[in-house]
Amino acid sequence: MKTVNALELRQSLGKVLDRLEHDGGPILVCRRRTPAAALVSLKDYRERFVDREADERRREVVARLRGLKFESPRNGTALDILRELRS
């Protein structure tokens, strides 16, 4: 994993971003020789965080839908209900 210190990151952010885009791997950002953060490509971010959150939300919605109980109409057919809603 490539590393960059905080000063280098501030002074040459464009170059660091170019390196990130070109290599694709994460870049470790160090402050006072101690790892402080990691930069990841947008592709990695989406795969690891955004898509995962969207999948979790979808699962929650599907679980809620499966938990709902739908009752059939007692008065009339579905066609009668549609006619009533339209009027």
**What is the pTM (predicted TM-score) of this model?**
0.55
Task: Count CB-CB contacts under 10 A for residue 20.
Answer: 19
Give the right CATH number for 2-67 from 3.40.50.1100, 3.40.640.10, 3.40.1620.10, 3.40.50.300: 3.40.1620.10
Give the mean pLDDT of the chain: 86
Task: Count CB-CB contacts under 10 A for residue 39.
Answer: 19
Residue 75 pLDDT > 80:
no
Rounded to 5°, the CA angle 62-68-73 comes to 130
Residue 72 pLDDT > 80:
no
Exposure string for 49-86, b = 16+ CB within 10 A, e = fewer: eeeeeeeeeeeeeeeeeeeeeeeeeeeeeeeeeeeeee
Q: 21-61 pLDDT, tens per residue?
A: 998 889 999 999 999 999 999 888 888 887 778 888 888 98
Domain boundaries, the chain: 2-67
